[in-house]
Amino acid sequence: MQELRNRLNEKEFNNEFTYQLLEAEKIFNKIFEVCGNEMEYGCGSYLIGSEKYEYSINMYPKQKLIYDKVKNVSSVLEIGTYMGHSLLLMLLANPSLNITCIDIEDKYSGKVIEFLKSVFPKARIKFFKGNSLKILPKIREKFDFFHIDGAHGNTTITKEFIHCKRMSSSKDFKLIFDDVEVCKTLQDNINLSYNVIDSHSPNCVNKNKFCQIRINSDVKISKKDDKKFRYNVAKSFLKEFPSRLTRFVIKKIKNM
Ligand SMILES: C[S@@+](CC[C@H](N)C(=O)[O-])C[C@H]1O[C@@H](n2cnc3c(N)ncnc32)[C@H](O)[C@@H]1O
């Protein structure tokens, strides 16, 4: 994190978040140790690139976004935990957070969560290992905030979005999508169907996106919006069907 330290005098970096992050450098390094000095090459995270365990200042704006948004919430559901870097950012923002994490793999997340529990004893961290689409329907709890950073396919993220919306504790459904470029169709469908009262993406690599959707308190109107969303999802699926079918056939031929 030396580069970040060197830039502390710049307006963009001179803030509470940077100081918290620098203070957490030892935790960041210890995470790698806890993971046996291994990582999943090719898999990205909020704090490192996909090739080397080294802090990435290029993602500073998205790191700050998740930190800022979680500061004033008390419960979060996260899909996609990996080495716990987004989890660490959220715990730095709120050390007594109640957070439920889901990951299909626990090679790294299992060990890191145990470690972070010891660093943040006031937090309540739950972990479910499994496919989000199998786990989410079983969760009955409500959450103030959602972080969607698991599978990187528009269809899966759309299904995750539907589950998360059901679990929102408030009429203002707040969430962050990571790597938002991979679910452009979903973003369009959300904008076409719901009352999006705030949405923004920071300017950086592997952009994430904050989204706040006002759920109508009139159940009838709210159900109508959900219906509109499902209609738009089906419409976009049909529009993309020819290219999906072509990709499917090419894959089958390649595997013959
Ligand atoms: C990009 S990484 C998450 C990075 C993490 N948020 C961070 O900042 O350190 C994506 C994670 O999602 C998990 N994943 C992929 N598909 C999933 C699914 N269908 N259900 C649950 N987890 C999934 C992967 O195992 C991987 O650990």
CA 151–ligand 1 middle distance (angstroms): 6
Atom of ligand 1 nearest to the CA of 82: 27
b/e burial code for range 218-235 (CB count within 10 A of at least 16 → b) = eeeebeebbeebeebbee
Residue 48's pLDDT is: 96
- Cβ atoms of 147 and 176 within 8 Å: the answer is yes
Closest residue by Cα to atom 5, ligand 1, is 81
What residues line ligand 1, using a CB cutoff of 6 Å? 43-46, 79-86, 102-105, 131-132, 149-151, 156
Closest residue by Cα to atom 14, ligand 1, is 150
Residue 248's pLDDT is: 77
pLDDT tens for the chain, 256 residues long, are 999 999 999 999 999 999 999 999 999 999 999 999 999 998 989 999 989 999 999 999 999 999 999 999 999 999 999 999 999 999 999 999 999 999 999 999 999 999 999 999 999 999 999 999 999 999 999 999 999 999 999 999 999 999 999 999 999 999 999 999 999 999 999 999 999 999 999 999 999 999 999 999 999 999 999 999 999 999 998 888 777 778 778 888 888 7
Residue 67's pLDDT is: 98
Residue 26's pLDDT is: 97
Q: What is the pTM of this model?
A: 0.94
CA 207–ligand 1 middle distance (angstroms): 16
Which of 27, 35, 82, 107 best tests ligand 1's pocket when mutated (most atoms within 8 Å of CB)?
82
Which of 59, 64, 79 best tests ligand 1's pocket when mutated (most atoms within 8 Å of CB)?
79
Closest residue by Cα to atom 6, ligand 1, is 81
Closest residue by Cα to atom 4, ligand 1, is 45
CA 85–ligand 1 middle distance (angstroms): 11
Q: Which domains does the chain have, with CATH numbers?
A: 58-254 (3.40.50.150)
